[in-house]
A and B are shown apart, each in its own frame.
Chain A
């Protein structure tokens, strides 16, 4: 179960405060690229948070969570072309489609366990990928460039990179607090219990399936919001958002930050993407270095990066 220790509350405050003052620092440095990377980081942090909810707390290793990034991204592209540009409408549409997709694929996937669950979630995400590849009206494989970013109250406020950044940050903080509340709630206890010992949970009168499926749907909806943010950040949408590589990257972020640690997921996304940017400057073969670092982190701390900051390990 999650215990919101004072340390964790402090760590969260510090991390989010650092994100909050970042635009001031980049402005002072006169670096406008950094804020673009940082927005991407926030979007992925939302997705990693969503994945950690089911992977870390529910024990469901989804290898298809990129599907929800794609759903969110295409919600922006498709509604935008239809003349609906409001951010709220984009998010609602993304959430609605993600919920239906998660409900159907989750209900089927949850009939399996372990490696089969991983494979079937991957398969469903690939179906989504190929669906959008074949959607020639939206550029098929090449994707499509957005005419404009989502609007807020009819105003093109998000065209400003800093405004988009703070919108993503507000969403991340809100979703983080929501996820923390969920893990500490009655629902969260049943979800964690079903991961710990599903037979035990049945023996005390719970049907793990219902709770796992609900968590799966919540997670999918959260991840679709990340997709909405990504599309806006890049002003571009393509099936590559749903690529299985992308799903793998999300799992890596969660593992990096420490499975079952929501703040760790945020930190994991941050560090994974920063490393990627930084290593890419050093060498063309950066994935090798990245892989090496990941191996070392997992080898030396079962709890990922957050494990290095924990004192209460037994």
Chain B
């Protein structure tokens, strides 16, 4: 850690806080400065000015929730090529397009069977309220997919309401015990997160209540900064032994996932495969977090789009693509994102932020309450502060009791259904009878960056930056004349 450390910003963005990242428009007099010909500096924009002022005034750096806010090459920069003459589409609404996925058949006796390829990412009880964890379990179970614990152990709410529960095995090992390992349906060894590859967990004092502290064996109210490295293994050779230990203690039943934050995905995936993983969870830099330094979120890691092809390369080079499943997360919002991730070679995706929004995070109906704590609906990212008026990222019993786990769970189930149906719409248009049949060839890129990262041609060209241009070989005769 260098020059500064920070406390939580209990009231969210301060009045000196960013005008551009906050809801304010115009100036106090109501006249738009831009209309007067004033020009904002692109380098020193209002958010930057506010950040510099805040650092100078407080000596604190910013900690917040959510993922990278800057615009990054993403799934939006890809388009599907629907079928027409050269490809045969499937009848929308009528012809079958299956969505089920099996995860972990490489070594586990009991692989995970999912009805849809969208799962719920690991988010700890502690960062989230018990009600939120219950809602995630209910929503996922309603549509036949899995949920995941987080950096803080397994709760009864979560186990009880999740048909399929993945148990995270993290560097901190808070609350980790063999009983919970055996109660889980799969085990996820966490090496990192896309929001902070190389960083450990963080949970600020406001959320370390008696129950959270008890589960983690920590004093109440401290600012918890978890370890970033596992305490008893270092490289892939050690991890292999660790995975063998986890298999032995769970009778070789449960799939073992390895989760990595995207930074060097080719090598990390290759090493995770070598260490014996059944599945890889790959989280890109847009991936959400409950609490991390802003500088870490915005400046460390690579975008989800850039990470997937490298991970797929590693799986293919090992001859294990589709045998070791790839679960991708980081900025997945819709069925289009799901379809694009699968087409690039993922077997499933995970959602964190989108799931929280489905539960009620950033609800416009709560705008007045968000404003009271210095934010606004659509901007709220102080998930570290524990003051969430929606009752999701809090441990305050009054606030968390506002979240109805049954209704919120149902909203999540609705989102998961919509995402799946949207992905099916696209898959049928591409002529695919299963979501997993989507392939890179179905995609083109809208920008040069996306073309280079996703290794798909720029739309309307056959140009992939960095690869020799190979025009499609012209047909030997014009189509109409081909048949005698």
Do A and B pair up? The answer is no
Interface residues of A (CB under 8 A from B): none
